[in-house]
Amino acid sequence: MKITFYGQSCFGIEFSGKHIVTDPFITGNELAKDIDLETIKADYILVSHGHQDHIYDLEALAKRTGATVIAAWEVYNWILAKGVENAHPMNAGGKWKFDFGTVRCVVAQHSSSFPDGTYAGNPLGYVVYNDSEAFYFAGDTALTYDMKLIPMMCPKLTCALLPIGDNFTMDVEQAVIASDFIECDEIIGCHYDTFGFIEIADKEAAKSAFSAKGKRLNLIEIGSSIEF
C-alpha cells in the first residue's frame, strides 16, 4: 500500500492495484499549489462529507478519471445531478465489496453541508480492507467511543488516517486515544495547517505524544508518499 498526501484530507492510496483518492481538495488549497490535479489517478473516490474543503475538486476529478464516487446518499445524489456517471451510495454501518476489497462505513462525529449550505447527510469514516491489509480513513471526526467497534468488525489495521488539527476535529491528544480505540500503531495525520484555525505549532511534540505510547505519527509532506 502506497499513500501520497495531497493536503488537508486528500490522499492518493494505491490499494490492491487500484487508485483510491480521499476528499479531493487541491486547487482550492494554497498549500497544495504545486500539485497538478490533472495528473492524479483515481479509480475510486471516498468522500467523508460535503464541506467545501473535502469536495472542492470532486466533480472535476470524477469526470476526468471516470472514478466511482463512494459517498453518503445525499452526496451521491448531489454528484449524480452534476453529471458524474459512476457513484455508489453508502451509510454508516454498511459495507460493500468492490474489486479492490471491502469498504465498511463507520460513524464520524461532525457536521455535513454542501457549499451552498444545504444538507449533505451524515459524515462518514471508512475502513477499507482486503485479505492482507487495511486502512481507516476517519474523515473529519471528534473522538468517539464508536471507534472501539472498528477492531471488533474489521481486520487489523495497517494504518489509520486521522485528523489532528483541533478546533473542527480531534486534536493530537484525542487522536492518540483514538489510535488506542482502533488498535492501530501507524497513524497518518491530516486536516492540519491548511488555515489558521487548525495550525499545529509544535509538530515534534505531536510526534512525541504518539511515540510515548509506542506508536508513530507520520506527517507526510504534501506531494510525498509513504509505503506499508
Mean pLDDT, to the nearest integer, of 113-127? 97
Q: Number of folded domains in the chain?
A: 1
Starting at the edge strand found earlier in the chain, the sheet holding 44-46 runs: 87-90, 68-72, 44-46, 18-22, 11-15, 2-5, 225-227
pLDDT of the residue at 90: 98
Mean pLDDT, to the nearest integer, of 67-81? 98
**Unique residue bearing C-alpha cell 481538495:** 25
Please give the residue range of the domain that contains residue 83: 2-227
pTM for the predicted model, two decimal places: 0.98
Measured from the Cβ of residue 187, the count of other Cβ atoms closer than 10 Å reads 27
- Summary mean pLDDT of the chain: 98
| Residue 130 belongs to domain with CATH number | 3.60.15.10
Q: Let me know if 59 is exposed, middle or buried by CB neighbors in 10 A (0-12, 13-18, 19+).
A: middle
Confidence of residue 84 (pLDDT cuts 50, 70, 90): very high
For the stretch 130-163, pLDDT in tens is 999 999 999 999 999 999 999 999 999 999 999 9
For the stretch 217-228, pLDDT in tens is 999 999 999 999
Q: Report residue 208 CA to chain centroid gap.
A: 23
